[in-house]
């Protein structure tokens, strides 16, 4: 899947759409999710043009990958979630219902999050 420069997170990175930033460095931007699903729900995105986790892991240079994951851990610590615990989610593709085609990791926390997936059928 080709990267779409019109996706909402590309527009956030270009400053065209406001966001509630919690952290930014050369590799990553972290901001509050617009529809939080936990008391703390922050998205961390790389600055580069990667569609999903699959694309990022396969194509990004090692420095970008290390910088991105360093930022994820730092944001979770800055939000004081490292003691109470948190969940990371990265959706890829249709079965995951990925909505925004720019790689992002959800950081969820602030309460007990229950089982990882709702069981169906």
| Residues contributing to the site for ligand 5GP (CB under 6 A) | 8, 17, 19, 31-35, 43, 91, 97-100
Residue in 51, 85, 53 with CA at minimum distance from that of residue 69: 53
The structure tokens listed for 62 are 């090692």
Q: How far is the CB of 120 from ligand 5GP (least distance, A)?
A: 18
Nearer to ligand 5GP, 61 or 97 (CB): 97
Q: How far is the CB of 44 from ligand 5GP (least distance, A)?
A: 12
104 belongs to the catalytic site = yes
Q: How far is the CB of 98 from ligand 5GP (least distance, A)?
A: 4
Nearer to ligand 5GP, 15 or 61 (CB): 15
Report whether 102 contacts 50 (CB < 8 A). yes
CA distances in angstroms from 119 to 97, 115, 116, listed in the order given: 16, 9, 9
CA distances in angstroms from 80 to 46, 96, 107, listed in the order given: 22, 28, 12
The catalytically annotated residue of 27, 102, 104, 106 is 104
**Which residue numbers are catalytic?**
104
């Amino acid at each position: 899947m080709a990267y779409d420069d019109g996706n909402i997170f590309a527009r956030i990175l270009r400053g065209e759409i406001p966001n509630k930033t919690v952290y930014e460095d050369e590799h990553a931007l972290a901001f509050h999710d617009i529809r939080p699903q936990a008391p703390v729900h922050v998205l961390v995105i790389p600055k580069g043009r990667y569609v999903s986790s699959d694309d990022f892991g396969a194509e990004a240079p090692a420095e970008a990958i290390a910088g991105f994951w360093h930022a994820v851990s730092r944001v979770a610590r800055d939000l004081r979630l490292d003691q109470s615990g948190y969940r990371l989610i990265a959706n890829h593709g249709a079965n995951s219902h990925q909505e925004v085609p720019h790689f992002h990791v959800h950081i969820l926390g602030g309460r007990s999050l229950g089982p990882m997936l709702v069981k169906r059928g």
